[in-house]
Amino acid sequence: MTVQPTVALLGTGTMGAGMARNIAAAGLPLRVWNRTAERAEPLAGVATVAGSVAEAVDGADVVLTMLYDADSVAATMEEARGKLGADAIWLQQSTVGIAGTERLARLADELGVAFVDAPVLGTKKPAADGALVVLASGPQQVRDRLAPVLDAIGSRTMWVGEAGAGSRLKLAANAWVFTVVEGVAESLALTRDLGLDPRLFLEAVQGGALDAPYVQLKGGAMLDGSFDPAFALSGALKDAELILEAGRSAGLDLAALPGIREHFARAVEAGHGDLDMAATYLEH
């Protein structure tokens, strides 16, 4: 691999578009592809927009997947079969859970490429700002070769073990994110239904040990009705189900997540799935 690897980024949605712009800004040759082609076209000024997966990955040093779930990632990489270079690295950054990661690792073996499992912490704005935290896991021998890509998309990279460890840590982190979001929604709803201005809850915790920037950010969005998706509720529901699946596989009794999953599902069923996950508040 050259000092500046050629990158094929597959999936230019909410996260992938910002990541693509930062990879290009770092001076790395970039091809992009998206199943809905119009979503890739705005990147034409900084990247080569490929008409097919095969075209995107042909000759690429790093193939980065940022797609919705394990099924979409697997289907996309099947389209790359026969076009991947012998030294190519598959940088899998979608949130697909434990079983999904194992499935994709097996596919990587079939395709004959090195597999790095590297989901990220952060949503739309950190992706656009190049400020994601990368939870990377995979073979030691490819880590230095991935550094230019990971440095472009993130503020820091944690290497946490063999492939699969990154996805396990991502589930634990998302469990905390969802607990905070749902906890804020419930506290606001309780304040409201006890006859008070719900903003009093945010004011009461502000600046103290119980506060966090995320509490104020999501709480303010809930009360302002500002639900431009940084992390869509439908995706949060998908990830909540992955967390519950992981807990069951580990024999762990997760107390909060089943209720959080039900509240997310209720909001999705009410038609809020394309809104930010803060829209769970709308069904409280």
- Residues 152-161 pLDDT 10s: 999 999 999 9
pLDDT for residue 280: 98
The gap from C-alpha 109 to its chain's centroid, in whole angstroms, comes to 23
Query: What single-letter DSSP state applies at residue 278?
Result: G
Strand ranges inside 118-188, DSSP E: 120-121, 132-136, 154-159
Residue 40 pLDDT > 90, yes or no?
yes
Query: What single-letter DSSP state applies at residue 238?
Result: H
Give the CA angle between residues 33, 56, 3 to the nearest 5°.
115
Residues 6+ apart with CB under 8 A from 60: 5, 6, 7, 8, 31, 84, 85, 88
Using CB atoms within 10 A of its CB, is residue 243 exposed (0-12), middle (13-18) or buried (19+)? buried
Query: What confidence tier does 201 reach under pLDDT thresholds 50, 70, 90?
Result: very high
The 10s digit of each residue's pLDDT in 204-216 is: 999 999 999 999 9
pLDDT for residue 2: 46
Query: What confidence tier does 129 reach under pLDDT thresholds 50, 70, 90?
Result: very high
CA atoms within 13 A on the CB side of 271: 0
Look at residue 199 and give its three-state secondary structure.
Answer: helix
Query: What confidence tier does 1 reach under pLDDT thresholds 50, 70, 90?
Result: very low
Looking at the structure, give the CATH architecture of the domain made up of residues 7-163. Answer: 3-Layer(aba) Sandwich (3.40)
Looking at the structure, give the CATH architecture of the domain made up of residues 168-283. Answer: Orthogonal Bundle (1.10)
Average pLDDT, the chain: 97
Residues 6+ apart with CB under 8 A from 173: 121, 135
